[in-house]
Amino acid sequence: MRPFRFFGIAAAGPVGVRAIVDTARRAEAAGFTGLVLPDHLLEQHAPIPVLATVAASTERLRIMPFVLNTGLRHPAVIAQDLATLDVLSDGRLEIGLGAGWNRMEHDAVGLPFEPAARRIDRLAEAVDVLKGCFAPGPFSYRGAFYTLDQYEGHPKPVQQPHPPLFIGGGGRRVLTLAARHANTVGLAPRVLPSGNGLPPPDPHSLTLAGAEEKVAWIRAAAGDRFNEIELNLYPSGGPLLVTADTAAPARDRADALHRLTGVELTTTEILESPHVFIGSVPQLVDKIQTLRARLGVSSFMLGDVETAIPIVEQLAGK
């Protein structure tokens, strides 16, 4: 089994630089592998400057946008930012990429929010363009979304042929893409169609059985490279909660899911979900070990650093 790797959130909201540096140093001392920051047009800092700050204030901590929405920017433009981060961090960058899921962000700035199939096709081309930018020499590319003519990206990243790629999702199509191209594949719940507001999660996709189905899709698509792939989970079913009372918060989350989708999961299904982390520190340590044994997941993005420290201190690198 792969040793555990743990990531935390670099900053919750638009905090000051001192808070970012303090979080980074606490995470490094506790044994976290790295810190991440999402890419959203919300009330938060942009990920690239924050991750540069984290790298500058630490020695070993890895950094990753979790994840960059490829529908918001041209991959050749972001390639320069990413390669620069890898150079400035001395090769500590990991690149999280996604097709985008939040229609409201696109609508707010007048960018088209395309059907899922086209967003995934765009993501696939963005991966090709990034790899071309990171490779030695100029390259040309002709795709449905991007065209480059004898372009050479600068600077070149320290990690060659490219920094590790993270791609995650909940549907078979995006997980097939991830299985063929990513170093780390993230298991996320599928979302249900929604005309307005944030799309609700598919309840089945939140369950342990749903995660097992996703791992089977990844295995089938990856073929011989499956054993080279690291699998990741994160608490998309609500923030990490360390508590001795698991029944009440599990019931609250089941009720909230029922209101959104009309589907009712039991509290047992909620607590067993690979996307829900509720329990005492010993319970959560046991759950993470069980998820590795059952699903092969060794990478976990646990969210708030302070909350996760007691768990990470027991499991990091084991």
Predicted local confidence at residue 263, as pLDDT: 95
CB 107 within 8 A of CB 113: yes
The 10s digit of each residue's pLDDT in 138-192 is 999 999 999 999 999 999 999 999 999 999 999 999 999 999 999 999 999 998 8
Percent of the chain with pLDDT over 90: 90
Calculate the average pLDDT of the chain.
96
pLDDT for 101 equals 86
CB-hemisphere CA count at 13 Å for 312?
26
The two tokens of residue 272 are 């067993």
Q: Look at the chain and count its residues.
A: 318
**Residue 150 φ then ψ, to 5°:** 50, 50
Average pLDDT over residues 22-40: 97
What's the pTM value of the predicted model, to 2 decimals?
A: 0.96
Give me the pLDDT at residue 196, please. 63
Name the pLDDT band for 99 (thresholds 50, 70, 90): very high
Confidence of residue 90 (pLDDT cuts 50, 70, 90): very high
Residue 315 · residue 288 · CB < 8 Å: yes
Domains assigned to the chain: 5-315 (3.20.20.30)
Given a cut of 90, is residue 195 above it in pLDDT?
no
Instruction: Please say whether the dihedral angle defined by the alpha carbons of residues 75, 77, 79 and 85, taken in this order, is positive or negative.
Output: negative
